[in-house]
C-alpha cells in the first residue's frame, strides 16, 4: 500500500513548484523511513493548500495512526478532499470508511457512489467491492449481471477474490450464462493465488467432472490446499475421499481423522459424518455417546439429516437416556427439513403413541408428506395407518398434510 501510494504522489511532483515538489519528496522519504512526524510536517501545509497527493497521504496517517493518534474523522476529511479531486485510492478509502461507518455516518448507498467513481477509473479493489455490493444488494439494488460486470473487470486485473466470486456466478448461472467451464477457469486462477474457497470449489468441480475432466487425485490435492487455508468443509471432503478411496487409499481411520479435524473447525458436514462413523464403529470404536454429541451439534447448525439420527438414539436409548418425547422433538425438527426418514419416524411415534398422544390421523399425515417427498416405504406405511381410520379421517389427514406443506412446514401441529 505504501509503495503504491507514494509512487502516485511522486508522479505529481512534476506539476508542483520546485519548493513544493521538494517538500513532497522529503515527506515521502520520511514516510518510507517510518519517520511519520517529519512526513506530516512536510505534507500538511501542502494538503491544506489543496495538493491532492498530500491530502491522501494525510488521510493515511490519521486512518492508521502513523505518528499521530488514530482519528477516523480527520482521516475521512482528508480522504474526502482528495477524492473530490478525483484521487482514485482516496475515493476507495472514503468509500470504505463510509461503508463501515468509520469517522462518518454509515451509508452503503453513498459508499457505492465512491466505489463506482474509483472503479470507473480502473481501481481493481473498488471493482471487486462493487461486485460484492451488487451481489448482496448492499447500497444498490441486487443485480447479478452488474456484479458479474465488475467482478470480471477486477478479475481480469488479477484480483483473486473477484476471480473466485466470478467463478461462483458462472457456477450458479447468476448474471451470466451458467458454465462450469468458465467457473473452473476463474476458480483455478484464484486458487493459484492461494484463495482457499476457490481451491475448495475447484476441487468440487474436479470431483464431479463439471467443466473439467473428473480427477479425484487432483481434487484431493486442491482439498488439501483448501484445508491448509482454513476451509473446514475441505477437511470433511478429505474424510469422504478417504472413506471411499477417491484419489487416496481407502482408510476409515484416516476418514475419522479428517472428519474430526473438520468438526473441530466448524464444518457441519464433518460433524454429521463423524457422528455416523462413531455410531457405526467405522474407523473408530463404536461410541453412541460421542455420536449423540456430534449429531446434536450438527442438528443445531442446521444439518438436515442430523435431527433424525439423534432422534433415533433417543428412541433407542443409545448414548443417551431413552426419551421418546426428546426423540419426537428431534424427529419434528428433521421433518421440517423434509427429511423423509424423520417424517416416517415421527409418524410412527404418533402411530404408537410414543412421546406424543396416539393420533392415527397425524401419523397418516406425516406418512403422506414423506411419500410426497419421495419415500417409497411411506406408501406401505400409509396403508397400515389407513386401516385405523375412516374415509373422513383420511380426508382430514390429507388436508392437514396440504396445510403443512403449503406453509413450508410452519403449520403442521394445529
Closest by Cα among 231, 254, 227, 228 to 241: 254
CA dihedral of residues 283, 287, 293, 296 (deg, nearest 10):
80
Check residue 11 and give its pLDDT. 41
Cell of 65: 495512526
pLDDT one-digit tens code per residue, 363-386: 999 999 999 999 999 999 999 999
Check residue 20 and give its pLDDT. 74
Helix, strand, coil percent values for the chain (each to nearest 5): 70, 0, 30
Cell of 34: 517510518
80 in Cβ contact with 94 (< 8 Å) = yes
Closest by Cα among 266, 326, 278 to 302: 266
105 in Cβ contact with 136 (< 8 Å) = no
Cell of 68: 499521530
CA–chain centroid gap for 10, Å, is 41
CA dihedral of residues 144, 148, 154, 158 (deg, nearest 10):
120
**Residue 101 CB contacts under 8 Å (≥ 6 apart), including other chains:** none
Q: What is the CA radius of gyration of the chain?
A: 30
**Cα–Cα distance, 128 to 162 (Å, whole number):** 5
- 25 by DSSP, 3-state: which? helix
**Cα–Cα distance, 254 to 357 (Å, whole number):** 45
Q: What's phi and psi for 349, nearest 5 deg?
A: -65, -40
pLDDT one digit per residue (tens) for the chain, 414 residues: 444 345 344 444 445 566 678 888 899 999 999 999 999 999 999 999 999 999 999 999 999 999 999 999 999 999 999 999 999 999 999 999 999 999 999 999 999 999 999 999 999 999 999 999 999 999 999 999 999 999 999 999 999 999 999 999 999 999 999 999 999 999 999 999 999 999 999 999 999 999 999 999 999 999 999 999 999 999 999 999 999 999 999 999 999 999 999 999 999 999 999 999 999 999 999 999 999 999 999 999 999 999 999 999 999 999 999 999 999 999 999 999 999 999 999 999 999 999 999 999 999 999 999 999 999 999 999 999 999 999 999 999 999 999 999 999 999 986
Number of Cβ atoms within 10 Å of the Cβ of 275:
31
Number of Cβ atoms within 10 Å of the Cβ of 280:
12
346 in Cβ contact with 320 (< 8 Å) = no
CA–chain centroid gap for 379, Å, is 38
Cell of 328: 419426537
Q: How far is CA 64 from CA 58, 88, 216, in A?
A: 10, 19, 46
Check residue 21 and give its pLDDT. 81
216 in Cβ contact with 190 (< 8 Å) = no
Amino acid at each position: 500500500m505504501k509503495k503504491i501510494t507514494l509512487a502516485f504522489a511522486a508522479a505529481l511532483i512534476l506539476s508542483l513548484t520546485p519548493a513544493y515538489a521538494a517538500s513532497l519528496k522529503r515527506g515521502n522519504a520520511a514516510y518510507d523511513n517510518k519517520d511519520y512526524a517529519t512526513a506530516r510536517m512536510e505534507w500538511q501545509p501542502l494538503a491544506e493548500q489543496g495538493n491532492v497527493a498530500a491530502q491522501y497521504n494525510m488521510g493515511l496517517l490519521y486512518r492508521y495512526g502513523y505518528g499521530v493518534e488514530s482519528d477516523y474523522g480527520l482521516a475521512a476529511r482528508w480522504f474526502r478532499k482528495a477524492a473530490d479531486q478525483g484521487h482514485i485510492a482516496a475515493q476507495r478509502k472514503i468509500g470504505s470508511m463510509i461503508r463501515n461507518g468509520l469517522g462518518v455516518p454509515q451509508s452503503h448507498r453513498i459508499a457505492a457512489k465512491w466505489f463506482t467513481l474509483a472503479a470507473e477509473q480502473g481501481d481493481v479493489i473498488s471493482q471487486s467491492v462493487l461486485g460484492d455490493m451488487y451481489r448482496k444488494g448492499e447500497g444498490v439494488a441486487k443485480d447479478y449481471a452488474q456484479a458479474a460486470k465488475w467482478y470480471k473487470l477486477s478479475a481480469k486485473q488479477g484480483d483473486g477474490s473477484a476471480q473466485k466470486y466470478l467463478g461462483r456466478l458462472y457456477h450458479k448461472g447468476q448474471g451470466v450464462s451458467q458454465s462450469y467451464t468458465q467457473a473452473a477457469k476463474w476458480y483455478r486462477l484464484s486458487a493459484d493465488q492461494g484463495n482457499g474457497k476457490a481451491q475448495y470449489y475447484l476441487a468440487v468441480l474436479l470431483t464431479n467432472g463439471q467443466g473439467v475432466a473428473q480427477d479425484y487425485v487432483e481434487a484431493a490435492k486442491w482439498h488439501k490446499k483448501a484445508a491448509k487455508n482454513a476451509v473446514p468443509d475441505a477437511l470433511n471432503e478429505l474424510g469422504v475421499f478417504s472413506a471411499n478411496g477417491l484419489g487416496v487409499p481407502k482408510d476409515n481411520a484416516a476418514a475419522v481423522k479428517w472428519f474430526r479435524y473438520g468438526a473441530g473447525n466448524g464444518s457441519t458436514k464433518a460433524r454429521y459424518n463423524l457422528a455416523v462413523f462413531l455410531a457405526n464403529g467405522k474407523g473408530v470404536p463404536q461410541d453412541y455417546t460421542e455420536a449423540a454429541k456430534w449429531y446434536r451439534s450438527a442438528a443445531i447448525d442446521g444439518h438436515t439429516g442430523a435431527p433424525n439420527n439423534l432422534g433415533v438414539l433417543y428412541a433407542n436409548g443409545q448414548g443417551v437416556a431413552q426419551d421418546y418425547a426428546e426423540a419426537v422433538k428431534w424427529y419434528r425438527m428433521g421433518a421440517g427439513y423434509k427429511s423423509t426418514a424423520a417424517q416416517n419416524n415421527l409418524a410412527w411415534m404418533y402411530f404408537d403413541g410414543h412421546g406424543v398422544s396416539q393420533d392415527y390421523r397425524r401419523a397418516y399425515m406425516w406418512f403422506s408428506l414423506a411419500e410426497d417427498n419421495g419415500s417409497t416405504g411411506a406408501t406401505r406405511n400409509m396403508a397400515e395407518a389407513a386401516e385405523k381410520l375412516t374415509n373422513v379421517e383420511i380426508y382430514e389427514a390429507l388436508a392437514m398434510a396440504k396445510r403443512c406443506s403449503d406453509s413450508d412446514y410452519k403449520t403442521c401441529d394445529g
